[in-house]
Amino acid sequence: MVSRSKRVQNIIDFIEKLIVPSGKGEGKPFKLRPFQKRFIQDVYGATDKAGNRRVRRAILAMGRKNGKSVLIAALALTHLVGPEAVNNGEIYSAANDREQAALIFKYGAQIVRADAELLSIIKIVDSTKTMVCFANGSVYRAVSAEAGTKYGLNPTVVIYDELAQAKNRDLYDALDTSMAARLEPLFIVISTQSNDPQHILSQLIDDGLSGNDPTTVCHLYAVPDDAEDVFTDEKLWKLANPALGDFRSLEELRTAAKRAKRMPTFEAAFRNLYLNQRVNAETPFIPRAEWTACQGEYEIQPKEEIYLGLDLSGKTDLTALIGVTASELEKIKCWFWKPQDTLDEHEKRDRVPYFVWKNQGIINTTPGRAIQYPFIAEELARINVDYVIKGMAFDRYRIDDLMNAMTAIGLDCYVDGKDKERAGCIRLVPWGQGYASMTQAVEALEVSVLERKLVHDGNPCLTWNISNAMIIADAAGNRKLDKSKTRFRIDGAVALAMAIGLKSRDLAQGPIISSFEGQTKEEIDKRIAL
């Protein structure tokens, strides 16, 4: 056992008297694990000649779900009311968004409320995510990445949660530069690694591991980037997950590893979030073998309920409309359009047989060099007769032009969340192309493929789009399809993801009334012709 200073032992003793508010060990005192004690030892154990703590910056980087929230809350309380408290101290737990910041505060507040002695000397202000210690005048507050509001603070301690997710370094710099006036300032970062070598966290880790700065401590738990058998060698997982087999679930990690091995689109996130590797988050979407395994024969019955996804793309390029049945077996139907006068040059550019596909009825063409939206509107009217449209997800790009074309032929629609719902009208659902919306869509499509819920007929244009599709991820593991990562078309993949994503989003919602419900094909044809 490594000998500890009295200072370090006091910190450990204080934390282990705190009560676990939820999860494993709820209602019992904290039990710090060896890796947590080592971190505390290295951060608080070294002092200068004056007896002041030498370490000013500390980084603890490890895989997800290894008890960082517990440690953040415990360390914050250690400086608010514990052995590291000073008069009129300012302690901040920093996160990249309000939601995460609120969770950190909530956890700390639960610890206080579970201890009558702490609650008697600490005032909790939920509205401002603040705790105030009456005994010493110190304040703890959870803050998020609105850096402009953070200048003017005078922190004693900052604990930054998941710095890897920061889109820029504004909040970090604002908090870091505000600590100069304190005697023993301390900036702690607890995070998985960033996939970007130029990210502020990557720079901090590299500098900390160099050993050039005695005021910086860096504990990096990560699987080496060149390690083999990372999907099956469970001994390697322990390198990034010091709590594995304890409160870090081994079974959950096994499941994630199997999924990442089977679906390369999950690999980058698995390596980054579970193995704590600094990897590029750009990955292929659906492997050809998985897509081929979903091919089969089927029929979509007349008046069957379907969801649609529409990617209008550019007016000179491929437009994709993909339908997926609302049934448990997700049957796919495709409609594609290209401007007639672009086929020759785009066939050479894209290296696919557009003319053959046109002759086979796989793609439709519209006159000239730009997509003519009335042709798409007319097809939507026919689809609305043949099937029950529960909703159509769309990218906002040029949707107004299509809606005008729909209105011109009497095909009524309304925009979900903007217009009042109207019976007998097609429900149009805006679907953003950023992480917030596309993460749900991508995951819904992947689950459908993995579980063989999806069945397609081998449409070559859709298959080509799927093979071109690439996934990018942010530091939080959110993912989206990115057209900039390939020079070839992915419009069908985007439209399919939106359609299945909308279906997934709607599962808990009530029934939707389709446009033209109850009308015959003859009535609809007459209406369209008007």
- The DSSP code sequence of 18-57 is SBP-SSTTTTSB----HHHHHHHHHHHS-B-TTS-B---E
Q: Which residues contact residue 49 at a Cβ distance below 8 angstroms, ignoring those fewer than 6 apart? A: none
Q: Which residues pair with 191 in a beta bridge?
A: 61
The answer to whether residues 10 and 4 touch, using CB atoms and an 8 Å cutoff, is no
Instruction: Identify the three-state secondary structure at position 454.
Output: strand
Q: How far apart are CA 311 and CA 514, in angstroms?
A: 21
CATH number of the domain encompassing residue 325: 3.30.420.240
Q: What is the CATH number of the domain that holds 161?
A: 3.40.50.300
d(CA 333, CA 495): 11
Q: Are residues 163 and 272 in the same domain?
A: no
The rounded Cα 271 to chain-centroid distance in angstroms is: 15
| Tokens describing residue 525 | 């044809």
- The C-alpha atoms of residue 234 and residue 250 are separated, in whole angstroms, by 9
Residue 270, both tokens: 């698995």
Rounded CA gap, 34 and 82, in Å? 21
Indicate whether 275 and 294 sit together in one domain: no
* Token pair in block for residue 112: 């206080």
The answer to whether residue 504 sits within a structural domain is yes
Tens place of pLDDT per residue across the chain (530 aa):
446 789 999 999 999 999 988 777 788 999 999 999 999 999 999 998 888 999 999 999 999 999 888 888 999 999 999 999 999 999 999 998 888 888 889 999 999 999 999 999 999 999 999 999 999 999 999 998 864 555 678 999 999 999 998 888 889 999 999 988 788 999 999 999 988 777 899 989 999 999 999 999 999 999 998 788 999 999 999 999 999 989 899 999 999 999 998 887 788 889 999 999 987 666 678 888 889 999 999 999 999 999 999 998 767 789 999 999 999 999 999 999 999 999 999 988 887 899 999 999 999 999 999 999 999 999 999 999 999 999 999 987 778 889 999 999 999 998 988 888 888 789 999 998 888 889 999 999 999 999 999 999 999 999 999 988 988 888 778 889 988 777 789 999 999 999 999 999 998 554 333 333 445 545 544 543 43
Return the pLDDT at 168: 81
Q: Is residue 386 part of a domain?
A: yes
Whether 271 and 314 map to the same domain: the answer is no
Cβ(290)–Cβ(463) below 8 Å = no
Same domain, 428 and 454: yes
Residue 165 sits in the same domain as residue 252: no
- Give the pLDDT of residue 21: 84
- Residue 415 contacts residue 401 (beta carbons within 8 Å): no
How far is Cα 32 from Cα 36, in angstroms, rounded to an integer? Answer: 6
d(CA 57, CA 37): 17
> Which CA distances in Å does 398 have to 371, 402, 403, 405?
11, 7, 9, 11
Q: Is residue 226 part of a domain?
A: no
Residue 263 shares a structural domain with residue 322:
no
> 248 lies in a domain?
yes
Residues 159 and 184 in one domain: yes
What is the tally of structural domains in the chain? 3
Same domain as 474, residue 326: yes
46: CB partners within 8 A, 6+ apart: 53, 54, 55, 214
CA 353, CA 136: separation in Å to the nearest integer?
76
Residue 433 is which amino acid?
Q
Q: Which residue has the tokens 């699987």?
A: 223
Judge residue 518's burial from the number of C-beta atoms within 10 Å of its C-beta, 0-12 exposed, 13-18 middle, 19 or more buried: exposed
Alpha helix positions (H), 63-136? 68-80, 98-113, 116-121
- 178 located within any domain: yes
Q: Are both 19 and 127 inside the same structural domain?
A: yes
First vs last C-alpha separation in the chain:
87
Task: Report if residue 114 sits inside a domain.
Answer: yes
Could you give the CA distance from residue 390 to residue 502 in angstroms, rounded to a whole number? Answer: 9
Residue 229 resides in a domain: no
Asked if the structure places residue 1 within a domain, the reply is no
Cβ pair 461, 468 in contact under 8 A: no
Residue-by-residue DSSP string for 404-418? HHHHHTT--EEETTT
Q: State residue 44's pLDDT score.
A: 96
Torsion of CA 493, 499, 500, 505, to 10 degrees: 140
Q: Which amino acid is at 437?
A: S
Q: What is the DSSP letter of 341?
A: G
Question: Residue 148 has what pLDDT?
Answer: 54
With 0.75 as the threshold, say if the pTM is over it. no
For 417-451, b/e burial (b = at least 16 CB within 10 A) is eeeeeeeebbbbbebebebebbbbbbbbbbebbbe
Q: Which two tokens stand for residue 124?
A: 């909790």
Q: Which two three-digit tokens encode residue 387?
A: 């099937």
Same domain, residue pair 323 and 431 = yes
pLDDT at 112: 96
Is residue 91 domain-shared with residue 171, that is, in the same domain? Answer: yes
In terms of residue numbers, what domain contains 448?
289-529
**Cβ–Cβ under 8 Å, residues 342 and 367:** no
The whole-number pLDDT of residue 343 equals 93
pLDDT in the model for residue 231: 95
Same domain, residue pair 209 and 251: no
304: closest CA among 361, 378, 381, 384?
A: 384
